Amino acid sequence: MSATGTIAGNKVKNIRHLSLAELQEYFLSIGEKKFRTKQVWEWLWKKGAASFADMTDLSIELRQKLGENFSLPSMAVDATQYSADGTIKSRFRTHEGHLCEGVLIPSNSRFTACVSSQIGCSLSCKFCATGYIDRKRNLDFDEIYDQVVMINRECEERNGKKLSNIVFMGMGEPLLNYSNVLKAVERITAVDGLGMSPNRVTVSTAGVAKAIRKLGDDGVKFKLALSLHAPNDEKRSKIMPINESNNLASLIDAMNYFYKQTGGEITLEYILFKDFNDSQKDAEELLKIYRQVPSHMVNLIEYNPIDAASFEKPSPERVDEFMGFLSRNKVNVHLRRSRGKDIDAACGQLANKNLVLS
């Protein structure tokens, strides 16, 4: 989506793509007081206004003038689905009709929003439902922000609490939408935005080495997660085509650079597939990678079946053996139990299916 929209045949700028200084300049140019800037900025970035009509402390005349001079395209909830375990999946619709999905994941100690960064995905990971959908376009930073606002609203209505964590683990590859993801995080964490701590934000990547190094150069404050899923290049290339151009050696080097520049927390994510990456030898190779990276933790993830792939999850005994080996070798390893499997909201299952609403 471009920064412009169309009203009565005229191109107008998306008001959320203005800086604070540009917004102030506009108000001064039409003879309005400076305080109008703060009023509207709060509506845009703290109160999550979806239209100029929502800005109820502005005069009708000023709201009409804003509508004539700017657009305010926003995401809307298209459908919602509720899991038996409390997970909530929302399908969002962009102003021009594209769809993406986000998930609210509740647990005893936290409420996590999983958000999307692209419409579809170009990486074609063999185990991921989104990987079988063509990438339509990147999401703009304000559209990513909208997902957080709407999931937070759902969280407050259902649980009486605000979101505690944000993970960029939904549809798309965040680091192939670099500038919009960083701008979205800035708005989510800014004091004059949603005010969340960057330590509560995790960006997950399939492994774009150049972009990981750029995160280091840009001194980001959020956490990084690498979707590893295989302990050597041969296996990883079979399930993640991106490994052909971003092999493990380049990723290990990039993650070390990221940590040196930021000191940021790094998690290695590893989905276990039956008879593919769950053997003792695989665990030994994973251990070698772990020891080369300043990784905070290895997240083992239950595989969630999708229609397009024939992978299976290992037996609980096999998982225990894999985990046990890592633990005995002083790896901080955690098994992430899948949530929302009954509504295709678990890791790797987001695919914009027709939602069966409850």
Tens digit of each residue's pLDDT (9 = 90 or more) over 20-50: 999 999 999 999 999 999 999 999 999 999 9
Pairing of strands 137-138, 223-227: unpaired
Q: Select from 92, 190, 70 the least CA-distant residue to 146.
A: 92
336 and 203 together in one domain:
yes
Q: Are residues 101 and 201 in the same domain?
A: yes
Backbone angles phi, psi at 163, to 5 degrees: -60, 145
Name the nearest CA neighbour of 116 among 53, 181, 69, 165: 181
State whether 196 and 332 are in the same domain: yes
The low-confidence residues of the chain, meaning pLDDT below 50, are 1-10, 346, 348, 350, 355-358
pLDDT tens for each residue of 121-180: 999 999 988 888 889 999 999 999 999 999 999 999 999 999 999 999 999 999 999 999
Mean pLDDT of the chain: 91
Shared domain check, 80 and 65: no
Contact between residue 350 and residue 308 where contact means Cβ atoms under 8 Å apart: no
DSSP 353: P
pLDDT of residue 341: 57
Whether 357 is in a domain gets the answer no
Active site residue 347: yes
Range of the domain at 193: 76-343
Out of 25, 42, 101, 302, pick the active-site residue: 101
Exactly one of 100, 114, 125, 347 is catalytic; which is it?
A: 347
**Same domain (yes/no): 276, 148:** yes
Closest C-alpha to 30, from 73, 59, 8: 59
Structure confidence at residue 339 (pLDDT): 62
**Together in a domain, 13 and 156:** no
CB within 8 A of 85, min separation 6: which ones?
339, 340, 342
Do 175 and 230 belong to one domain?
Answer: yes
Give the DSSP per-residue string, 184-244.
HHHHHHSTTTT---GGGEEEEES--HHHHHHHHHTT--SEEEEE---SSHHHHHHH-GGGG
Which of 71, 86, 106 terminates a domain? The answer is 71
* Same domain (yes/no): 44, 138: no
| Domain C-terminal end among 54, 71, 88 | 71
pLDDT at 357: 37
Do 61 and 117 share a structural domain?
no
Going by their DSSP bridges, the two strands 88-93 and 76-82 should be labelled as: antiparallel
Reply yes or no on whether 186 is catalytic. Answer: no
Longest dimension (CA), the chain: 72
For the chain, count helices (H), then strands (E).
Answer: 10, 15
